[in-house]
Structure 1
Amino acid sequence: MMWRALSADWLKIRGKGIWFLAFLGPLGLIAMQGLNFGLRYDYLRGQYREDLWGGLLSEVVPFVPIALYLGGTLICSLIANVEHQTSAWKQLLALPVSRTAVFMAKLLLCLLLLIVSCLLLSAGTVVLGLLLGFGAQPIPLADVLRIGFAAYAAAMPVIALQLWLSLSSRNQTLPVSVGLTLSLVSPFGVYFTEWMPLSWPVLAWSDPRPWLFSGAGLLLGLLVILPGAIHFARKDVD
């Protein structure tokens, strides 16, 4: 049932600007670093001459949590608004598909769109490095993939919470405000205690135990999904 709901949701997002948003975040981040290196090329190349790829990744990393939280917030909100704006919840939930399947389909759609964004970020980073002339040094493919996907796993609790809030409220002011606040605070996550989930995307890159924070994000994300799905299944719809 969930796959049927996912197929329907996949068709619904056509022409809604959601795909544009999924592409905009990583491409905008890469373009910003292209400008950064373009304006300070000699200085940055000299500073990172021993490890040019590592230097490029270190310049990208601080902005990844912002892009993930803000992009996840807007994608969740737009996916929920497909039903909110057309008042289609009653018709959707009257179909022979369980509410839990509807919730999980929208969650999976959001996660898939963010996976596309992470892949674009990794691919764009490689392309940017090659354009900057870093090809003489070997490309650290594992780190290039980790730059997006480790933070993505660590950010799972916030993404799950954002979808829960977006689906539960017809007025998207609260979920968008929460997501915007978290995205603005996220660059300072390195100064928070490691027990605070907001710091996990940063620690998933910088900590000696990155797997710990990515794993914790996945686990807590699952724990947030469970009450979110239960609440959605029991909630009255307009």
Structure 2
Amino acid sequence: MSRLLAADWLKIRGKGLWLLILAGPLGLTAMQALNFGLRFDYMKKRYADDLWGGLLGNTAQFVPMALFLGGTLVCSLMANIEHQTSAWKQLLALPVSRIAVFASKLLLCLLLLVVSCLLLSVFVTGLGLIFGFGASAIPVYDVLRIGFLSYAAVMPFTTLQLWLSLAFRNQALPVSIGVICAIVSPFTTTLSAWLPINWPYVAWTGPHRLYFAGAGLLLSLLVLLPGAAHFARKDVN
């Protein structure tokens, strides 16, 4: 597994994945910089009781959309490295199991998204400090959970996206599914909280946030099993 991870790590160099990982949190932070910066007096008055909570709450509204779209693109680009170079036969001819190959690529995708979530926490904290919200008042737990609880809740989707991206040489289907989920996710929040597409949102706002984060981890394992089994049996070109 360590050798597979090292090989996949080398393959993503120069492929634009790191730019994508940076663009997500940077874009969300830039949106809030404009949101607060253009009407700072109004926003400061509105969230006078909890300035950090106002900043984090406004940012969190867009985190699920960013995770759906980011997970889609990361998985698709990861799979395309093998598809475009037609390297599957050479890779799978090595003395490693196909399940290990699948697990390695999934683990790297998840690690890249972890970096993106961490950058979001850092950037939002920096923005709050620039606005003068006060370092002593930083809600460290909330700053961390803004991305990471939603990240845990979106893991089943990421696992499914990698499965589809590896299964189909043409990336139109997995990318279309990801874009559709990203677009409709803000409009499904009025539906049942137990609808998986809502889990990244309620993992931030709901009264039982940890339940939905845990449900995401559990469902991701259930998606992983058939995904890895299918990849292990599938003929690749």
TM-score by length of 2: 0.98
Correspondence for 1:101: 100
Shift of 1:12: 0.3
**How do residues 63-78 of structure 1 correspond to structure 2 at under 5 angstroms?**
63-78=62-77
CA RMSD, Structure 1 to Structure 2 (Å)? 0.8
| CA deviation string 1:126-185 (max 9, x = no partner) | 000000110166100000000000000000111100000000000000000000000111
Correspondence for 1:219: 218
Distance 2:194 2:151 in 1: 17
- Determine if contact 1:76/1:162 at 8 Å carries over to the other structure: yes
Q: Does 1:20 align with 2:26?
A: no
Q: Which amino acid is 1:29 matched to?
A: L
| CA deviation string 1:51-106 (max 9, x = no partner) | 00000011101100011010000000000000000010000000111100000000
Correspondence for 2:192: 193
Distance 1:187 1:137 in 2: 33
**How do residues 1-150 of structure 1 correspond to structure 2 at under 5 angstroms?**
2-135=1-134, 138-150=137-149
Q: Does 1:184 align with 2:174?
A: no
Shift of 1:190: 1.9
- Determine if contact 1:27/1:124 at 8 Å carries over to the other structure: yes
SS in 2 for 1:6: helix
Distance 1:232 1:202 in 2: 30
Distance 1:26 1:203 in 2: 20
Q: Which amino acid is 1:205 matched to?
A: W
Distance 1:166 1:213 in 2: 25
**How do residues 151-170 of structure 1 correspond to structure 2 at under 5 angstroms?**
151-170=150-169
Distance 1:144 1:45 in 2: 19
| CA deviation string 1:188-233 (max 9, x = no partner) | 2321212210000111011111000000000001100110000000
SS in 2 for 1:192: coil
Correspondence for 1:175: 174
User: Which deviates the most, 46-55 or 130-139?
Assistant: 130-139
Shift of 1:40: 1.1
Distance 2:235 2:2 in 1: 24
Distance 1:190 1:211 in 2: 18
Correspondence for 2:234: 235
- Determine if contact 1:70/1:179 at 8 Å carries over to the other structure: yes
- Structure 2, unmatched stretches of 5+, are none
- Structure 1, unmatched stretches of 5+, are none
Q: Which amino acid is 1:167 matched to?
A: L
Aligned residues: 237
Distance 1:181 1:106 in 2: 24
